[in-house]
Structure 1
Amino acid sequence: MPDPTATVTEVQGRRLRLTHLDRELYPGSGFTKAALLRYYTLVAPAMLPQLAGRPASFLRLPEGVTGQRFWAKRVPPGAPDWVPELSVTHRRESLRQVVVADLPTLLWAANLGCLEFHTPQWRDDPARHDRLIVDLDPGEGTGVVECCAVALVARELLAADGLTAWPKTTGSKGLHLSVALPATPAEEVAGYARELAARLRRALPELVVDRMAKQLRAGRVFVDWSQNNSAKNTVAAYSLRAAAAPSAAAPIGWAELAACRAPADLAFTPDQVAARLAADGDPHAGLPASAAPLPD
């Protein structure tokens, strides 16, 4: 059946056919596919530099968050020939993935029902990482407030090693700290991340766990050092999340992280994230220039 809301538009010289613009993606929210496309247009200037050069994994929900959801890594059939691609080897298989390098590609992916954008900690070459991620994942009985306590200690440990951390919410319950690096062998980054997790556990033994076993996580924050594996992806800054209500992964400042006293203090809707960016700029604008090597 033809889509009566479909429209053809041109974005930076690329032709896009946008469909089902009135479809509500989060039940009862009024947040439609048109709102999705508008949000990604507004945050694109800050989001695209984070995505450039990195193969994207998409969480697609064409019918919205109550419908079918699936991960998409391969370039989908029928993709325009102008969509940037990168060949990536996963285990023994090589496949072509999309690189979201510009606004037309971002909106093309969003029109496919991609709510979430995830990327690895490397650009172009999985053997050399340009980013360290400190992934703080709260276990049962903990939340973002406890993650903030761990993040403040992590910041001190990283600073003592000459590294600058940039916090963001995940749009869910946890926090990510991003650290820019010069291109560094993947195994060195992974090794440092694992040791940092152990240091945090020793500094906060009643609050932090650095082992994978889920039964250890209740009442504690899991520092998921494995997110620095070349095969892993983390949600991109400014990505929407496929939760019950509209939310987004939001870069934040250290002052507001330190002031957090309740989960609501660091929970942002897409409209709030876009408004924060318009009013105050990107809190992570200085992240690339802060790159420093891992300690010897």
Structure 2
Amino acid sequence: MSKTTEKVPLKVEGHEILISNPSKPLWPNISKIEYLHKLVKLAPFLLTYCKNRYLTTIRFPHGYNDKTFFYQKNCPEPTPDFVNTAYLHNIHYVNLDNVATLLWLGNLACLEFHPSFHYINQSLPVEWVIDIDPSKENEPRLVDAVLFIGELLDKLHIQSVPKTSGATGIQIVIPIEQKYSFDQLRKMGQFISEFLVQKHPNLFTIERLKKNRKQLIYIDYLQHWQGKTLAAPYTPRAREHAPVSTPLFWHEINKNLIPSDFNLLNIENRLKKEGDLIQKVKPQQLDHLLAHLSN
């Protein structure tokens, strides 16, 4: 006799989603149904950075430490009628623009959400992100490295928001006026990165190959490009302690920073108190830096 799969109906936005194996642990202390409830709380924030973008998810059918995880770009099938999609380069992407779609993906054990840097059917990036990637898991110099970058941006009169990647690194998000090309942002990112490598050669590198970085901290300005992705603000990550990629105040970048302290179990209280820190920064105008680079 074939084994039946436990399914529980969940109603959201007028749609019914059948939740399979709701008691299955996706993290040691978070079951699938609990995860879905957490996603409902994250939705107003997470959807801001996923809707109307080409979405890549990472699926972990047996939980966060499942070695059979896989990246999913093409929309899973069968596809409910409430799921909106978009084509790009022969890939049928999900447009994560409603809570029902988020919970449908959560039921499929999508534990991470990685959107494009540009909107569907547009070519200009919506924000600028610089990824700071340490070469080792616990890098005590990471805080200093991020602060150096923040100080330089501040001297360039560019406001930014640091966020935990949810893994080992920190990403610096710069809200921008939507008029700059990926090429222009890459040119500015290269300038900033090369300046920091020159000023702090024992701390930073722009070496792409990890095996050649030694113990240096990688400034990845190349990842911000059409067709590439990074973890969205407020996405969960498939790591121990169920971390959430969380925007921070600059004063929180200090020696006491532990990225896993921002996780699915406590993120709701932080968001109620602080709101979305990225939305509190006005879109930045970067013409002055472009003009400098053109001289």
One fold, TM greater than 0.5? yes
2:125 is paired with a residue whose SS is strand
Matched, 1:3 2:2: no
CA distance in structure 1 between the partners assigned to 2:195 and 2:164 by the alignment = 22
Residues 159 and 187 (structure 1 numbering): CA distance in 2 closer, same or farther, change over 3 Å? Answer: same
Corresponding residue for residue 86 of structure 2: 86
Q: Where do 1:1-296 residues align within 5 Å?
A: 1-4=3-6, 6-26=7-27, 29-67=28-66, 68-89=68-89, 94-125=90-121, 127-140=123-136, 143=139, 145-183=140-178, 184-257=180-253, 260-262=254-256, 264=258, 267-287=261-281, 289-294=282-287, 295-296=289-290
Percent of pairs identical after alignment? 22
Report which stretch shifted further, 63-72 or 221-230.
63-72
> Is the 2:206–2:218 Cα contact (8 Å) retained in structure 1?
yes
1:251, distance to aligned residue in structure 2 (A) = 1.4
Deviations 1:128-147 (A, max 9, x none): 1121111000013752x422
**Is 2:165–2:246's contact at 8 Å kept on the other side of the alignment?**
yes
1: CA distance, partners of 2:73 / 2:35: 21
Amino acid at match of 2:192: L
CA drift at 1:228: 0.9
CA contact (8 A) 2:160 2:174 kept: yes
Shift of 1:12: 1.4
Separation in 2, partners of 1:25, 1:42 = 17
Query: Which secondary structure state, in structure 1, belongs to the residue aligned with residue 246 of structure 2?
Result: coil
For residue 204 of structure 2, what is the amino acid of its counterpart?
A: V
Q: Which moved more, 1:169-178 or 1:46-55?
A: 46-55
Residues 156 and 54 (structure 1), Cα distance of their counterparts in 2 relative to 1, 3 Å cut: same
Taking a change above 3 Å as real, the CA distance of residues 60 and 128 of structure 1, as seen in their structure-2 partners, is same
Aligned length: 285
Task: Tell me if structure 1 keeps the 8 A contact 2:114–2:232.
Answer: yes
Please tell me whether the aligned partners of residues 139 and 217 of structure 1 are also in contact (alpha carbons under 8 angstroms): yes
Determine helix, strand or coil for the equivalent of 1:86: strand
- Matched-pair contact (CA < 8 Å) for 2:165–2:171: yes
> Alpha-carbon deviation of 1:20?
1.1
What secondary structure, in the 3-state scheme, does the structure 1 residue paired with 2:119 have?
A: coil
The separation in 1 between residues aligned to 2:127 and 2:223, in whole angstroms, is: 11
Letter in 1 for 2:175: A
3-state SS, counterpart of residue 153 of structure 1: helix
Q: What amino acid does structure 2 have at the position aligned with 1:293?
A: L
Matched-pair contact (CA < 8 Å) for 1:141–1:219: no
Gaps of 5+ in 2: 291-295
What do you get for the CA RMSD once the two structures are aligned? 1.9
Structure 1: gaps spanning 5 or more residues: none
- Name the CA shift for 1:229/1:19 in 2 (closer, same or farther; >3 Å): same
The amino acid across from 2:216 in the alignment is R
Letter aligned with residue 105 of structure 2: A
Give the secondary-structure state (helix, strand or coil) at the position aligned to 1:87.
strand
TM-score by length of 2: 0.89
In structure 2, do the counterparts of structure 1 residues 265 and 106 end up closer, same or farther at CA, with 3 Å as the change threshold? closer
Contact 2:175 2:278 in 1 (8 A): no
TM-fit CA distance, 1:125: 4.2
What one-letter code is carried by the residue in structure 1 that aligns with 2:271?
Answer: L
Question: What is the identity, as a one-letter code, of the residue corresponding to 2:233?
Answer: A
* 2:143–2:255 Cα contact (<8 Å) kept: no
Partners of 1:109 and 1:193 in 2: CA distance: 33
TM-score (norm 1): 0.89
**One-letter amino acid of the structure 2 residue matched with residue 290 of structure 1:** P
